[in-house]
């Protein structure tokens, strides 16, 4: 699929990457001046929040590696600490403020230490201002739209010895060609698009990540080939709403098509994707999942609420009936398919009756797992203006009821797995030996040699406890 109708202005201006590479080179010299020529530079990059942010973090690490940095996870060993922040809920922001606060001791002890903040939280002017005023230990700040300008920002900070704040308003660009330092292992993530057009009323993402923009299919496929050639065994395609991939590229591009084409790349790997907005999830997509062996049989389909009234207030553009129809179609087409969802509890104006509808939906659909969030008020969103009369204690009670229901549903799924054999990708160590995931996304621990990490295995589930599945290897594939 060769599509090339990206609206101009969405890609970087010609020569911009070269310009940034020159800044990266300049940083090498400036860093030597700051830390001494013999010093081995170490950076700590921590990404908060979603996989999209982790993926941005891998690009930031790629740029740092170009400037001569190695990496550490110990703050006291680092010469540069970069927190790539998340703004989706207040508690993510509170955590960042706490962690940055703690760095003031390190900065006092080693004034040459460089501290930077970037990502979604920093794209909000009121937050950047708070950092400027109250966190003098921070040397530089930049928002999501300036990610590709990191070398320029760091060079400015090193050269002038001044704090740099770059929080530009923009609909966002697509920066192809940035270096990537993937975390070594079995799984890799691959962004296929950036931003979001949906403006769910509770959500800050469209405000901090700009409008939806899709990467060219060939750019995605080329990166997928590189990931497969590097030996990764699982590729997760990322977007805030992967189902609207290609809407800005013309009629030829679509997510089902891209998914199929990624899976057609030669190599022994699985493909997953997230997130999938129910309003744009099509039967065509479900058919591709059903008919493409490399695509995992697990659909992450955030529903947010089981009440049509609340879904309307959230601006989600689907109904509970539509959602259940999608689930039913997928279950008919894909034997054993499992669903995971996101739910928000305590949206402004949600009543007990609305909540009970959500509980009912959870019991009906029987999700494999839930990501449940207490509603968090976000500056600049429409929901922040809505009346929110339900007390926090009541919302917490609803939250616990959901967790209790899901605990039972999860345990019942697990009991059904006992005695069955699944294809599993071994992806790490566990107290039993190894751990891995089935294509239906269930985690199973089993005895096995470390050399099997990264291999596909047939594992029979022999025991199920509340939160754990135990298996035994039957065959190495």
Residue ranges in contact with ligand SF4 by CB under 6 A: 196, 198-200, 203, 205-206, 240-241, 277
User: Shortest distance, CB of residue 293 to ligand SF4, whole angstroms?
Assistant: 29
Query: Which of positions 238-257 make contact with ligand SAM (CB under 6 A)?
Result: 240-241
Q: Is 399 in the site for ligand SAM (CB under 6 A)?
A: no
Residues 6+ apart with CB under 8 A from 426: 186, 434, 435, 436, 448, 452, 453, 454, 455, 456, 457
User: Shortest distance, CB of residue 321 to ligand SF4, whole angstroms?
Assistant: 20
Enumerate the β-bridge partners of residue 345: 374
Residues 6+ apart with CB under 8 A from 216: 3, 4, 6, 176, 249
Q: Is 369 in the site for ligand SAM (CB under 6 A)?
A: no
User: Shortest distance, CB of residue 59 to ligand SAM, whole angstroms?
Assistant: 18
Enumerate the β-bridge partners of residue 193: 214
Measured from the CB atom, the residue of 56 and 79 that comes closer to ligand SF4 is: 56
User: Which of ligand SF4, ligand SAM, none has residue 378 at its interface (CB below 5 to 8 Å by kind)?
Assistant: ligand SAM
The binder of ligand SAM chosen from 194, 375, 398, 414 (CB under 6 A): 375
User: Shortest distance, CB of residue 307 to ligand SF4, whole angstroms?
Assistant: 17
Q: Is 83 in the site for ligand SAM (CB under 6 A)?
A: no
> The tokens 């700051």 sit on which residue?
34
109-118 as b/e: b if 16+ CB within 10 A: eeeebbbbbb
User: Shortest distance, CB of residue 172 to ligand SAM, whole angstroms?
Assistant: 15
Closest CA to 268 of 297, 293, 287: 293
User: Which of ligand SAM, ligand SF4, none has residue 373 at its interface (CB below 5 to 8 Å by kind)?
Assistant: ligand SAM
Measured from the CB atom, the residue of 198 and 369 that comes closer to ligand SF4 is: 198
The binder of ligand SAM chosen from 216, 244, 376, 438 (CB under 6 A): 376
Measured from the CB atom, the residue of 52 and 435 that comes closer to ligand SF4 is: 52
- d(CA 231, CA 454) in angstroms, rounded, equals 9
Angle, helices 392-417/352-365, rounded to nearest 10 degrees: 10
User: Shortest distance, CB of residue 336 to ligand SAM, whole angstroms?
Assistant: 23
Q: Is 342 in the site for ligand SAM (CB under 6 A)?
A: yes
| Cα distance from N-terminal residue to C-terminal residue, the chain | 32
Measured from the CB atom, the residue of 216 and 381 that comes closer to ligand SF4 is: 381
The binder of ligand SAM chosen from 275, 358, 369, 438 (CB under 6 A): 275
User: Which of ligand SAM, ligand SF4, none has residue 199 at its interface (CB below 5 to 8 Å by kind)?
Assistant: ligand SF4
Measured from the CB atom, the residue of 31 and 190 that comes closer to ligand SAM is: 190
Measured from the CB atom, the residue of 403 and 412 that comes closer to ligand SAM is: 403
User: Shortest distance, CB of residue 105 to ligand SF4, whole angstroms?
Assistant: 36
Angle 83-195-17 from CA coordinates, rounded to 5°: 70
Enumerate the β-bridge partners of residue 84: 47, 118
Query: Which of positions 176-215 make contact with ligand SAM (CB under 6 A)?
Result: 202-203, 205
User: Which of ligand SAM, ligand SF4, none has residue 409 at its interface (CB below 5 to 8 Å by kind)?
Assistant: none
Enumerate the β-bridge partners of residue 343: 304, 372
User: Shortest distance, CB of residue 316 to ligand SF4, whole angstroms?
Assistant: 8
Number of residues forming the site for ligand SAM (CB under 6 A)? 18
Q: Is 373 in the site for ligand SAM (CB under 6 A)?
A: yes
Q: Which residues bind ligand SAM (CB under 6 A)?
A: 50, 88-89, 202-203, 205, 240-241, 275, 277, 302, 304, 342, 344, 373, 375-376, 378
């Amino acid at each position: 699929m060769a599509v090339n109708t990206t609206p101009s202005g969405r890609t970087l201006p010609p020569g911009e990457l070269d310009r940034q590479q020159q800044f990266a080179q300049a940083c090498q010299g400036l860093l030597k001046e700051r830390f001494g020529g013999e010093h081995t530079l170490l950076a700590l990059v921590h990404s908060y929040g979603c996989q999209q942010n982790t993926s941005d973090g891998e690009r930031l690490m790629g740029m740092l590696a170009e400037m001569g940095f190695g990496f550490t996870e110990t703050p006291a060993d680092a010469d540069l600490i970069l927190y790539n922040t998340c703004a989706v809920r207040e508690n993510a922001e509170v955590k960042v403020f706490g962690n940055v606060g703690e760095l003031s001791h390190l900065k006092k002890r080693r004034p040459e230490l460089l501290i930077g903040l970037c990502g979604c939280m920093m794209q909000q002017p009121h937050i950047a201002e708070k950092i400027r005023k109250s966190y003098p230990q921070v040397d530089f700040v930049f928002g999501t739209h300036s990610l590709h300008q990191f070398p320029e920002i760091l060079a400015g900070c090193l050269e002038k010895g001044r704090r740099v704040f770059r929080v530009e308003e923009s609909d966002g660009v697509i920066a192809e060609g940035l270096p990537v330092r993937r975390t070594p292992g079995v799984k890799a993530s691959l962004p296929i698009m950036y931003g979001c057009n949906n403006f769910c009323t509770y959500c800050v993402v469209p405000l901090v990540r700009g409008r939806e923009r899709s990467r060219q299919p060939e750019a995605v496929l080329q990166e997928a080939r590189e990931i497969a050639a590097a030996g990764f065994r699982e590729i997760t395609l990322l977007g805030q709403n992967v189902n609207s991939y290609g809407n800005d590229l013309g009629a030829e591009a679509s997510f089902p098509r891209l998914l199929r084409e990624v899976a057609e790349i030669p190599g022994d790997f699985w493909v997953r994707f997230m997130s999938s907005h129910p309003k744009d999830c099509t039967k065509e997509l479900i058919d591709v999942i059903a008919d493409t062996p490399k695509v995992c049989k697990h659909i992450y389909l955030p529903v947010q609420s089981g009440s049509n009234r609340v879904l309307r207030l959230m601006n989600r553009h689907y109904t509970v009936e539509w959602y259940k129809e999608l689930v039913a179609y997928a279950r008919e087409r894909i034997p054993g398919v499992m669903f995971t969802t996101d739910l928000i509890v305590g949206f402004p104006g949600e009543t007990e009756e609305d909540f009970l509808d959500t509980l009912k939906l959870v019991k009906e659909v029987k999700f494999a797992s839930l990501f449940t969030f207490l509603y968090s008020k976000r500056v600049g969103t429409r929901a922040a203006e809505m009346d929110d009369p339900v007390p926090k204690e009541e919302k917490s009670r609803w939250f616990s009821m959901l967790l209790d229901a899901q605990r039972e549903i999860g345990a019942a799924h697990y009991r059904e797995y006992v005695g069955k054999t699944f294809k599993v990708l071994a992806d790490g160590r566990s107290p039993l030996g190894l751990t891995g995931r089935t294509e239906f996304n269930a985690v199973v621990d089993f005895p096995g040699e470390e050399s099997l990490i990264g291999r596909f295995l047939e594992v029979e589930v022999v025991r199920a406890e509340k939160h754990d599945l135990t298996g035994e290897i039957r065959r190495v594939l």
